[in-house]
Structure 1
Amino acid sequence: MRYLPLTDTDRGDMLAKIGADNIDDLFVDVPEVARLDGPIRGLPMHASEMAVERHMKRLAGKNTVAGDVPFFLGAGAYRHHVPASVDTVIQRGEFLTAYTPYQPEIAQGTLQMLFEFQTQVANLYGCAVANASLYDGSTACWEAVAMATRVTKKNRAVLSGALHPHYSEVVKTMAQFTGDVIADSAPAIQAEPDLEGLTSRIDEETACVVVQYPDILGRISDLSAVAEAAHAKGALLVVVNTEPVALGAIKSPGEMGADIVVGEGQSIGVGLQFGGPYLGLFAVRDPKHVRQMPGRLCGETVDAEGKRGFVLTLSTREQHIRREKATSNICTNSGLCALAFSVHMTLLGEKGMRELAAENHRLACIAADRLAKVPGVSLLNNAFFNEFTIMLDGKPARDVVRALADRGVLGGVSLGRLYPGVERLQQALLVAVTETTTEDDIETLATELEALIKEDAQ
């Protein structure tokens, strides 16, 4: 028998209490085209467990698995080798939770792990304090904008045109409910980011400037001038990093004057996993801003007997304090992914992190040089880490991506897919290379791409 605890009368009373005429009124913010008007078409109403398992296995068999073919996808989600010991540790019963404990006094191991995680993120970002993680990089980006408006008492955020468009969309979506003004733009399609154009958009009402490093086209630049321009107007610099491995090779955002550094931690310890769950990283350079940080903060202390212990130092969310004083209503943490990140970082250490970054960059340089030799292909970037943009002369990148996939190569991300309204980016292909890429994979990509171009020319 189905368990339905509420009667129609109960539901009617609840709707009346909140002033809604019907259930559909609760979903008015969801576009009508995205709502279901009945059962999901194509799925049977019920089936046995074994039948469902067989059906799902058949569907899974249609997938092209990242590890089975040459793989060059990136754009904010990267394939790195995750040591088997990471999975072993995170599946231990003492750790197997996706959440921060509500009884911290009996969860010292989890709290110590989060304390170590915070230390690792702060060191990686060149900041003073990091929190115990957020949901993912895009929501962390919004939380940084919201924090900047609290700190500066201003409500305008200037977004770099080279910020990942998914991050921009999350910020703009959330700003609809806060009244903040979001000033974004299209990316400058050139070898170097247009930092002068970015700084020229900062005014006295600007709370923060948000810039990605390396940016969505893979470009790297010194952000010190942007920090100075922002601070001159009383604004904060928010730096977004989607590839933390890069920070094993390039200067940290905190060193260049970033006030808030956020990003996606998936690259370290967490597999691609069809897009989630992922791991939001969040840190601040100045300790005076710590009470405006969203999320939880674990600290080290001593108990009544003088022994070292760990506690939740700050937990500034609406479940724990008066709602109007909360920094966010979604500031939980991704506990299991944070643990995977921390275990992988511990295994690497500083030396291993630098070596991993160097290998990523070495292979990316080989790939960029080889692809630039393909007729009809040019390299956009002057500088990059493990991801770069190539321009395909007269060829839509989305068509090329599909054709390469048919040939057993996942050749990159079409920037036209991310920027459907930017004409020149329809011919731009974002290529990511990591330590999991072999030189044979690179040669296969170049060979297949050259063959496609020749076939189209005939």
Structure 2
Amino acid sequence: MRYLPLTEADRSAMLETIGAPDVDALFSDVPEEARLTGPIEGLPMHASEMAVEKHMRRLSKKNLAASDAAFFLGAGAYKHHVPASVDHIIQRGEFLTAYTPYQPEIAQGTLQMLFEFQTQVARLYGCHVANASMYDGSTACWEAVAMASRIARGKKRKVVLSGALHPHYAEVVKTMAKFTEDEIAHASPALQAQPDNDGLIARIDDDTSCVVVQYPDILGRVTDLQPIADAAHEKGALLIVVNTEPVALGAIKSPGEMGADIVVGEGQSLGVGLQFGGPYLGLFAVTSQKHVRQMPGRLCGETVDAEGKRGFVLTLSTREQHIRREKATSNICTNSGLCALAFSVHMTLLGEKGLRRLALENHRLACHAVERLSKVPGVTVLNDSFFNEFTIRLGTDARKVVRTLAERDILAGVSLGRLFPDNADLADGLLVAVTETTTEEDIETLASALEEVLS
């Protein structure tokens, strides 16, 4: 494909057509402090390929790899062991080069994989139907909110967000709601052993289209969702449940079992490494068949061909690339096909029993970490309930402690001050995640370092 640059006349004609005075006006939604006004300071205008490679290698040595540290980071992205067989399978040519299966007759393998993936997600979430994946967990959360608004036919526009929802997910919802008429009712979390479910329920009224909660929540707490579901349904609203750690569902009750109408989440934990933050994998499922046609993305189905043989097709594909834009259910419903394949391969290798064993090992190690850290002077464990992630209070700014320990090759966790920079009440909170890759030696390393730093 040739690169065909625009002339000044082309640019002027385009700007005139869309009613923009200049190119800068197209970036008005980007904060001014985030925009460049000239070349990046310190970056040469040109360099040889060898010089660039050498420079990039020097920069890469500043990274502290997850595998080279005592690692306790989580908050929506988790370090799990991914079997080598996962990478081997997803790099097979028929998978690695495949895109959207527009032509079912030559994409049966991809379609069958997505069909199996949907089945796995539906069973994991306790739902009837799952789609063929989304872009990531945060955008899947917004898609669920938009779906609830469609189901309400625009008669209900209030969206109640739990204060214990991941703040990045909440920000995505708020950003997208700027372009709709949805009213976002949000709150900040409180550092207490149990989430304020009563306060959340009190915010649900007759104008509410949906209620969004996280399970386990951003502080690692696990709570019964049934009372929230009952309160939402009493007002004619839908309950949307966000899950950022799918391994947890090998040990705790699924959201669908507790009354969730839509369940969304991030699938990175299974099959997909941390990878500096992406690409990741959005999961999306519903509990009612009547809501299927309002789902975003694509849905693979099983059928038979003209000879009666089993086959697979795209049953629903309500994205703007396939149908009229005004009738599309989404325009950001990217199917993360290769990540979905990795998820499905890892899940298949584990099986139901393997997933349960993996979940129990995660919880066992987390319990050991809680027991050990609770003995550190100055550390208070917040949670009464948790899976593999929990919150501790340090009595001092957690960000400073995290930076100090990082210099000792200990990635101690995610400070709540980083997640909630505008809430000083959370500044001493530290979110600690423990997985099967964490050793008891790592836990002792963290505890000993905290004893020294907090003394």
Residue equivalent to 1:86: 86
2:172 is paired with a residue of what secondary structure? Answer: helix
Check whether the contact 2:389–2:432 (CA below 8 A) recurs between aligned residues: yes
What residue ranges of structure 1 are gaps of 5+ in the alignment?
none
The alpha-carbon deviation at position 348 of structure 1 amounts to: 0.5
Alignment of 1:105-124 (within 5 A): 105-124=105-124
**Per-residue CA shift, 1:324-362, capped at 9, x if unaligned?**
111011112111110110110010000100000000000
Select 1:344's aligned residue among 325, 343, 346.
Answer: 346
Give the distance between the partners of 1:404 and 1:98, measured in 2 at CA: 43
Residue equivalent to 1:405: 406
Give the distance between the partners of 1:134 and 1:427, measured in 2 at CA: 35
**Per-residue CA shift, 1:196-241, capped at 9, x if unaligned?**
1110100000000000000000000110000000000000000000
What residue ranges of structure 2 are gaps of 5+ in the alignment?
none
1:95 is paired with a residue of what secondary structure? Answer: helix
The alpha-carbon deviation at position 97 of structure 1 amounts to: 4.1
Check whether the contact 2:98–2:110 (CA below 8 A) recurs between aligned residues: no
**Per-residue CA shift, 1:128-162, capped at 9, x if unaligned?**
00001111100000000000011123111000000
Residue equivalent to 1:432: 433
The alpha-carbon deviation at position 98 of structure 1 amounts to: 7.2
Q: Indicate the larger mover: 8-17 or 300-309.
A: 8-17
Residue equivalent to 2:415: 414
**Per-residue CA shift, 1:233-292, capped at 9, x if unaligned?**
000000000000000000000000000000000000001111111000000000110000
The alpha-carbon deviation at position 102 of structure 1 amounts to: 2.5
CA-based RMSD of the aligned residues comes to: 1.1
The alpha-carbon deviation at position 10 of structure 1 amounts to: 1.4
The alpha-carbon deviation at position 41 of structure 1 amounts to: 2.2
Give the distance between the partners of 1:406 and 1:219, measured in 2 at CA: 29
Residue equivalent to 1:379: 381
Give the distance between the partners of 2:121 and 2:102, measured in 1 at CA: 23
Check whether the contact 1:98–1:334 (CA below 8 A) recurs between aligned residues: no
Residue equivalent to 1:300: 302
Q: Indicate the larger mover: 89-98 or 141-150.
A: 89-98
Alignment of 1:350-365 (within 5 A): 350-365=352-367
Give the distance between the partners of 1:324 and 1:65, measured in 2 at CA: 45
1:149 is paired with a residue of what secondary structure? Answer: helix
Alignment of 1:90-169 (within 5 A): 90-97=90-97, 99-153=99-153, 154-169=156-171
Q: Does residue 224 of structure 1 match 2:222?
A: no
Q: Does residue 277 of structure 1 match 2:284?
A: no
Residue equivalent to 1:201: 203
Check whether the contact 1:97–1:336 (CA below 8 A) recurs between aligned residues: no
Check whether the contact 2:362–2:388 (CA below 8 A) recurs between aligned residues: yes
Residue equivalent to 1:213: 215
**Per-residue CA shift, 1:156-211, capped at 9, x if unaligned?**
10000000000000000000001210000011221011111110100000000000
The alpha-carbon deviation at position 3 of structure 1 amounts to: 4.6
Check whether the contact 1:137–1:242 (CA below 8 A) recurs between aligned residues: yes
Give the distance between the partners of 2:176 and 2:84, measured in 1 at CA: 38
Alignment of 1:236-251 (within 5 A): 236-251=238-253
Q: Does residue 14 of structure 1 match 2:14?
A: yes
Alpha-carbon spacing, 1:239–1:79, altered in 2? closer, same or farther (3 Å): same
Give the distance between the partners of 1:73 and 1:183, measured in 2 at CA: 29
Q: Does residue 328 of structure 1 match 2:330?
A: yes
Give the distance between the partners of 2:283 and 2:227, measured in 1 at CA: 24
1:449 maps to a residue whose letter is L
2:315 is paired with a residue of what secondary structure? Answer: strand
2:50 maps to a residue whose letter is M
Check whether the contact 1:147–1:293 (CA below 8 A) recurs between aligned residues: yes
2:411 is paired with a residue of what secondary structure? Answer: coil
Q: Indicate the larger mover: 2-11 or 47-56.
A: 2-11
The alpha-carbon deviation at position 411 of structure 1 amounts to: 0.3
2:389 maps to a residue whose letter is E
Check whether the contact 1:97–1:335 (CA below 8 A) recurs between aligned residues: no
Residue equivalent to 1:189: 191
Q: Indicate the larger mover: 318-327 or 268-277.
A: 318-327
Give the distance between the partners of 2:198 and 2:373, measured in 1 at CA: 30
TM-score using structure 2 length: 0.98
Give the distance between the partners of 1:306 and 1:237, measured in 2 at CA: 40
Give the distance between the partners of 2:101 and 2:56, measured in 1 at CA: 34
1:149 maps to a residue whose letter is S
Check whether the contact 2:212–2:242 (CA below 8 A) recurs between aligned residues: yes
1:5 maps to a residue whose letter is P
**Per-residue CA shift, 1:390-428, capped at 9, x if unaligned?**
0112x1000000011111100000001111222221000
The count of residues paired between Structure 1 and Structure 2 equals: 452
The alpha-carbon deviation at position 17 of structure 1 amounts to: 1.5
Check whether the contact 1:99–1:333 (CA below 8 A) recurs between aligned residues: no
